[in-house]
Amino acid sequence: MIETIQLSKAFKERTVVEDVDLYLDKGESVGLLGPNGAGKSTTISMISSLLKPTSGDVKLDGKSVISDPGNIRKVLGVVPQEIALYQELTAYENLKFFGRIYRVPKGQLESRIQETLELVGLKDRQKDIIKTFSGGMKRRINIASALLHNPKILILDEPTVGIDPQSRNYILDMIRQLNESNGTTVLYTSHYMEEVEQLCNRVYIMDHGKVIASGSHSELLSILSNEDTMKVQLNQMNEDFIKAIQDIDVVRQVEETGDGIKIIAKKSANIISSLVKFADQQNIQILNFQMENPSLEDVFLHLTGRTLRD
Amino acid sequence: MLTFLIKDLLLFWRDRKEVVTVILLPLLLVVVLSVSMSGLFDEDQSENFDLSLGLVIEDDQDEAMEEFEASVTQSEQIPDDMKPELIRTIQEAPPVEMITEYLTSPELEHWLTVQTMSRSEVDQGIESGNLDAGLIIPENYTAQLLKSIHFDEENKTELSFIAEKTSFEVDMVHNVIQGFLEQMNLQYAISASGSEINASEIQRPEGATEMMADNSSFTISIDQYFTISMGALFVLFMASTVATRTGIEKREHTFNRIALTNTPAFHFLFGKTFATFILSWMQIVLIFIGSHAILGVFSGRSLTFWMGLIFMASIYSFAIAGLSSILTSISLRLKNPDTANGIFMAIIIFCGTIGGNFIPIYILPNWLQEIGEWTPNGLTLAVLMEWLQVEDLSILWMPALSLLSLTLIAFIVCLLLYPKRGEIS
Ligand SMILES: Nc1ncnc2c1ncn2[C@@H]1O[C@H](COP(=O)(O)OP(=O)(O)OP(=O)(O)O)[C@@H](O)[C@H]1O
Ligand SMILES: [Mg+2]
């Protein structure tokens, strides 16, 4: 339905998006993951016709939309990363304005506004001025504004940033509902792995402007299929200890967690004896030891050597 | 497009503080300035015009008088017993002297400076703008005039009135002289034979507008001046106020959301421009009506006067809307809203200054004054001052056309400046 081909963007010589190939099939829910500054928002801006790519193409049903964005604008709903609402207007007035400029037919506008307000659960607050809303409520109206024209494709750029878990779950449920019962194609951007794991069938992982991995959840996890993740809880730790563990040749990665370390090592390699030995030497007690199922977070760590929210 | 207009008006309405500032501040200023300044101008409430007229006397009055006396004495047409009486009348009121005396009389002194000079000096003075007008009393003027009155000879000489361009001030001087000459003619005619003789006329400068000869009303009171100049000035700020909101729409990302739809750019501009028009219009009309309600600025004026006032206010508001459309395009192009605001303020203060809204325009150098008449506010100020003197619709057409052309040019510039996709900073 939608695809990008070798999409690139440079701001004054600095390339922030490089040769990105994405595709979204009808009805799919796809995640775009990446740390701050990975180029996610820039990619979205190019897909949604806000920004002209330096090179590459964006196609909707096989037709390029770069020079003629009219068609994609009609079917696309974009929830920007920032709250893009008139702070001085009421929720209703905002929706009415955006509905009208999205050319929602006059006869349907009123019912569409009420439906979307219902969907985001803010029907009773529609007469209030946006300025007086909480962060989570603003986020929800921010999403509602992109839904009025019943878009076939919905692109959400970190729609849950900076809000409480309750609002977050509400929003995630809402998007899932749109995808599952309305058949809306979703591109969901985030740096929260859990959200993407919950919501999306397929994931692209971006870093430094490039797609570094992509595939379904299990495909991505199979990247780690020859590795084990262990969580070790310790009463204390020091650098010598971590260094010693890193130096074991089957160990790929050691990461400090709050109360211990996380070790990624070659599958089935027995490092427990070494672990106990080094702990003993440094006078460190092992309080707990646990094998973990790898997450996308681990995939990212594996690919980049960094965590998503570094 | 209406959608955008409603949005812009609604946003403005929500910002009550701004509404109050925009309307009450200028009104307050008009009242405060008028009250405090009227003390300074107590003795002379008239506006401080200073017009300079170069007077060229090529006529030799004394010789003409002697000649005339001789011809009267020798005349056979005039009965002998009337001769001394006639000579006495003429001696008491020699025409050239009467004209010069009148021009330097206390009545005119405070707004008209008359200097006697040579013809070439007058030409130079007018060209350089140091003189507003020149009056030339040609050779043999007295002789011809007297002959035509008393010996029924045809009068071939005329006073010439010259000016570089016609303006309100020039017309005023012309009118004053014309009025005086008519009176003088009448007097002479009565003293001569009772029959009416059109002895003296002055040549009008080319293209001069017909004036309604009401010489008694050419003073502008200080509160009228402030009402008009503050009105014109604060409306100027409206252009910037509305354009600044574009900066807010960029900052709050709503502009991006608009850019995501298939809305043509001019819908967005139309909203801004038409909102500016409506708001400017309401503002200036409220200032006029408010000042009138509080100070009675325009008391006793006719309906025609008010219609002209509101007509010009409407045309001026169009020009302001044009200005705001340019500012809107600029603000879309600039990354930093503070830079945009700085540029807006600079434009407004420049226009306000050379248009004469801040300071009386005549202290500015000539060339700047001329540019000043090309600013919408300067032009509006000048026209409305004239309109206060003379309720003649014909003085409104040209400025109205100029303002509309200015508006059109502004729209073209604004569309040229409007950023394309990806150029929005
Ligand atoms: N208009 C611009 N001019 C110059 N550089 C830009 C511009 N927009 C983005 N960048 C740069 O491009 C890079 C990618 O930014 P982008 O906003 O796409 O990242 P992101 O993945 O969305 O990050 P985040 O998770 O923080 O939203 C950043 O380094 C940013 O500084
Ligand atoms: Mg982003």
pLDDT tens-digit profile of B22-74? Answer: 778 888 888 888 777 665 554 444 445 677 888 888 888 888 888 888 887 88
How far is CA A127 from its chain centroid? 32
Does ligand 1 come within 6 angstroms of the Cβ of A75?
no
d(CA A307, CA A35): 8
Does ligand 1 come within 6 angstroms of the Cβ of A116?
no
Q: Is B167 within a domain?
A: yes
Does ligand 1 come within 6 angstroms of the Cβ of A136?
no
On average, the pLDDT of chain B sits at 79
Q: Is B46 within a domain?
A: no
Which of B1, B249, B254, B267 would best serve as a mutation to test chain A binding (most A beta carbons within 10 A)?
B254
User: pLDDT tier at A4 (50, 70, 90 boundaries)?
Assistant: very high
Closest chain B residue to the Cα of A82, Cα to Cα: B253
Task: Tell me: do B75 and B23 sit in the same domain.
Answer: no
Q: Is B398 within a domain?
A: yes
List the single residue in A50, A70, A93 with the smallest CB-CB distance to B262.
A70
How many structural domains compose chain B? Answer: 2
Task: Tell me: do B93 and B225 sit in the same domain.
Answer: no
Q: Is B285 within a domain?
A: yes
Q: Name chain A contacts of B15, Cβ cutoff 8 Å.
A: 88
**Which ranges in chain A are annotated with CATH 3.30.70.980?**
225-304
Chain B residues 175-214 with CB within 8 Å of chain A: none
A101–B3 CB contact, under 8 Å: yes
Whether the CB of B262 is below 8 Å from some CB of chain A: the reply is yes
Task: Tell me: do B337 and B405 sit in the same domain.
Answer: yes
ipTM of the complex: 0.79
Whether the CB of A4 is below 8 Å from some CB of chain B: the reply is no
Whether the CB of A11 is below 8 Å from some CB of chain B: the reply is no
Task: Tell me: do B152 and B224 sit in the same domain.
Answer: no
- Collect all residues with Cβ–Cβ distance below 8 Å to A152 and sequence separation of at least 6: A1, A26, A75, A76, A184, A185
Task: Tell me: do B165 and B293 sit in the same domain.
Answer: no
CB pairs under 8 A between A and B: 66
In a 13 Å sphere around the CA of B285, the CA atoms on its Cβ side amount to 16
pLDDT tens-digit profile of A235-253? Answer: 888 888 888 888 888 888 8
Q: Is B204 within a domain?
A: no
Q: Name chain A contacts of B263, Cβ cutoff 8 Å.
A: 101
CA distances to A119, A149, A174 from A116, in Å: 5, 10, 11
Task: Tell me: do B280 and B246 sit in the same domain.
Answer: yes
Residue with the smallest CA separation from ligand 1 atom 26 is: A36
Decide: residue B422, CB within 10 A, 0-12 exposed, 13-18 middle, 19+ buried.
middle
- Return left, alpha or beta for A15; rule: phi > 0 is left, psi -120 to 50 is alpha, else beta: beta
Ligand 1 atom with minimal separation from the A209 CA: 14
Does ligand 1 come within 6 angstroms of the Cβ of A36?
yes
pLDDT tens-digit profile of B395-423? Answer: 888 889 999 999 999 999 998 888 876 66
Q: Is B412 within a domain?
A: yes
C-alpha closest to that of B222 among B383, B120, B371, B360: B360
Tell me the three state secondary structure of residue B423.
coil
Task: Tell me: do B249 and B156 sit in the same domain.
Answer: no
Ligand showing the shortest atom-to-Cα distance for residue A37? 1
pLDDT tens-digit profile of A254-286? Answer: 888 888 888 888 877 778 888 888 888 888 888
Task: Tell me: do B134 and B104 sit in the same domain.
Answer: yes
pLDDT tens-digit profile of A107-141? Answer: 999 999 999 999 899 999 999 999 999 888 999 99
Q: What is the DSSP string of chain A?
A: -EEEEEEEEEETTEEEEEEEEEEE-TT-EEEEE--TTSSHHHHHHHHTTSS--SEEEEEETTEE-SS-THHHHHHEEEE-SS--S-TTSBHHHHHHHHHHHTT--HHHHHHHHHHHHHHTT-GGGTTSBGGGS-HHHHHHHHHHTTTTT--SEEEEESTTTT--HHHHHHHHHHHHHHHHHS--EEEEEES-HHHHHHH-SEEEEEETTEEEEEEEHHHHHHTTTTEEEEEEEES---HHHHHHHHTSTTEEEEEEETTEEEEEEETT---HHHHHHHHHHTT--EEEEEEE---HHHHHHHHHSS-TT-
Ligand showing the shortest atom-to-Cα distance for residue A206? 1
B259–A84 CB contact, under 8 Å: no
d(CA B386, CA B373): 13
* Residue at a domain's end among B192, B208, B242: B192
Helices (H), B264-336: 265-295, 303-333
Task: Tell me: do B148 and B277 sit in the same domain.
Answer: no
Q: Is B423 within a domain?
A: no
Q: Which fold has domain A225-304?
A: Alpha-Beta Plaits (3.30.70)
Q: Is B343 within a domain?
A: yes
Closest chain B residue to the Cα of A151, Cα to Cα: B261
Task: Tell me: do B255 and B400 sit in the same domain.
Answer: yes
d(CA A185, CA B44): 79
The domain in which residue B152 lies consists of 51-192
- Collect all residues with Cβ–Cβ distance below 8 Å to B298 and sequence separation of at least 6: B224, B288, B292, B305, B306, B309
A101–B263 CB contact, under 8 Å: yes
Whether the CB of A151 is below 8 Å from some CB of chain B: the reply is no
Write the single-letter amino acid at A12.
K
Q: Is the pTM of this model over 0.80?
A: no
The CATH number given to A2-221 is 3.40.50.300
**Which ranges in chain A are annotated with CATH 3.40.50.300?**
2-221
pLDDT on residue B198 = 43
